[in-house]
Structure 1
Amino acid sequence: MRIRGVAHRGYPRNYPENTLSSFQAAIDLGFTHMELDVHLSKDGVPVVMHDHSIDRMTDGKGEIKNYTLKELKQFNIEPDEKIPSLKEALLLAKDQIIVSIELKKPELYPGIEKKVYEVISKLDMIDQVYIISFNHKTLAKLRVLSSELHIGPLVSRVKKSHFNLIKKLNANYFAVKYDSVKDKHIKQCEDMDVQLVVWTVNREEDMTSIGNYPSVLVTTDELEKYSNLYLTR
């Protein structure tokens, strides 16, 4: 049985986040979706990492935008990983799992929207990804690039204006911090045929509570805990 949920940065409890081994673990556990974060290298290649710098995750220092992909590949992620490109991550996921791509700080990377779209399009994965971002202007740019690409606003607190934004963008997803979601928001997303995604749900009691709303897509770091609860519903 497949586990309907979003593996946050892969399987970060057991593997380095946003790495190929982490994504493979999510696939092996049978999750339907996985989430990853994208920045742009100095030479314009979309790469996967949560932070805009490599300090926390690698043995190097500095901002991603100041290194070419080749230079970024020289740094190590413990125990034995390299920074993946978006292309590498998508090739791993193709035909196996839906990928949620978060564009991180897109204001730092002029043209990132087109670069990311080109990778997705060349791999023929338009129907296997969706893109979210806190920067709603970047989502508007993506919508201009493609009417078929699935996109969605990413927010910490739900406002009435967000539903107007969803309509304006013709968005397919709405990614919301878990403790901001109310019953009325779930109902409104259902009525609008928009996929509500909540993040990040790691406590068992919250997993059980949100399980009462089967339309909601749950993002979690605790893949095995979530899997066990999901399979016993």
Structure 2
Amino acid sequence: MEKTVIFGHRGYPAKFAENSLEGFRYAVNHGAEGVEFDVHLTKDGVPVVMHDEKIDHTSDGKGWIKDFTLAELRQYHLTNGEPVPELKELFEILENQNLWINLEFKTNLVHYPNIEQIVFDLAKQFHFVHPIIFSSFDYVTLKNCQEIDPNQTYYYLVDQKVTNPAKVIKENHFAGIHPEEYLNNDTIVQRIWTVDDPELAKQYFEKHVAGIFTNNYPLMKKIRDEVQK
């Protein structure tokens, strides 16, 4: 059986500012197998990387990303002093690196106009070792993506129980599901978020789930390697 892939959730938040280029750069250079991040659009249609729809939580500014132009947004900084990163800047770090990329369209609260096409067009300008894993809580976004490019892999993010995940995947032509808790089905591809508890991680590793997202990827890699010898 293949080993569970460990994704650095928003980079390496246990050590660096979340969704910072510093954190992602460290992850790339220090053994991360994958990284996960969320994408939004500025008022002038530039994709940027941040978890929340507002900048209040992780920067020294306040307000909605959708209400700032890129130039306005870049006046604010993360806790490490970096400006809010553009997706293009992150792609430059990840290009040609042997790790998995999970890009979440953060559109379940704000549906940014044409975000799917904008992100796809940008991604085509770079070479990645593995195909990007695209995910979203927003069903409409995933369907928009499939219309634009049916050949990519799309994963439905869920924060609740799914009665028949295999049926959901098959009927919607998804590649799998990214649940908050383990779905009791070992026939589907599932990557679970956000796993920081060692005992819970051990349970998932024993089940050989496809992947987990974690704020401390070095610790989870060590536990995984002990369980999946």
Tell me if both proteins adopt one fold, taking TM over 0.5 as the criterion.
Answer: yes
Partners of 2:130 and 2:225 lie apart in 1 by 27
Which runs of no fewer than 5 residues in structure 2 stay unpaired?
none
- 2:187 corresponds in structure 1 to 188
**What SS is found at the alignment partner of 1:62?**
coil
Contact persistence 2:162–2:183 (CA under 8 A): no
Deviations 1:40-81 (A, max 9, x none): 101101110001111111111111011111221111112221
Does 2:167 align with 1:167? Answer: no
- Which amino acid is the alignment partner of residue 54 of structure 2? S
Q: Which moved more, 1:66-75 or 1:117-126?
A: 117-126
The CA deviation at 1:215 is 4.0
Residue number among 175, 180, 185 corresponding to 1:177 in the alignment: 180
The CA deviation at 1:87 is 1.4
The CA deviation at 1:29 is 2.7
Evaluate the alpha carbon distance shift between residue 175 and residue 55 of structure 1 in structure 2; reply closer, same or farther with a 3 A threshold.
same
Contact persistence 1:114–1:145 (CA under 8 A): yes
Higher relative contact order (CA 8 A, sep 6+): 2
The CA deviation at 1:95 is 2.1
- 1:28 corresponds in structure 2 to 29
**What SS is found at the alignment partner of 1:31?**
coil
The CA deviation at 1:38 is 0.7
**What SS is found at the alignment partner of 1:14?**
coil
- Which amino acid is the alignment partner of residue 46 of structure 2? V
The CA deviation at 1:217 is 0.7
Partners of 2:140 and 2:166 lie apart in 1 by 15
Partners of 1:110 and 1:34 lie apart in 2 by 25
- 2:143 corresponds in structure 1 to 140
- 1:223 corresponds in structure 2 to 217
**What SS is found at the alignment partner of 2:8?**
strand
The CA deviation at 1:35 is 0.3
Partners of 1:138 and 1:126 lie apart in 2 by 25
Partners of 1:110 and 1:161 lie apart in 2 by 31
**What SS is found at the alignment partner of 1:232?**
helix
The CA deviation at 1:113 is 1.1
- 2:71 corresponds in structure 1 to 70
Partners of 2:82 and 2:4 lie apart in 1 by 26
Partners of 2:120 and 2:193 lie apart in 1 by 24
Which runs of no fewer than 5 residues in structure 1 stay unpaired?
190-194
Q: Which moved more, 1:119-128 or 1:145-154?
A: 119-128
- Which amino acid is the alignment partner of residue 170 of structure 1? H
Evaluate the alpha carbon distance shift between residue 159 and residue 232 of structure 1 in structure 2; reply closer, same or farther with a 3 A threshold.
closer
Contact persistence 1:133–1:139 (CA under 8 A): yes
- 2:20 corresponds in structure 1 to 19
1:3-14 → structure 2 map (5 Å cutoff): 4-14=5-15
Contact persistence 1:132–1:153 (CA under 8 A): yes
Partners of 1:99 and 1:208 lie apart in 2 by 23
**What SS is found at the alignment partner of 2:6?**
strand
Evaluate the alpha carbon distance shift between residue 214 and residue 132 of structure 1 in structure 2; reply closer, same or farther with a 3 A threshold.
same
Partners of 1:15 and 1:173 lie apart in 2 by 30
Does 2:158 align with 1:155? Answer: yes
Partners of 1:133 and 1:36 lie apart in 2 by 11
Q: Which moved more, 1:12-21 or 1:91-100?
A: 91-100
Does 2:198 align with 1:204? Answer: yes
Does 2:131 align with 1:128? Answer: yes
- 2:85 corresponds in structure 1 to 84
Question: How many equivalent pairs are there?
Answer: 223
Partners of 1:88 and 1:168 lie apart in 2 by 36
**What SS is found at the alignment partner of 1:24?**
helix
Q: Which moved more, 1:215-224 or 1:45-54?
A: 215-224
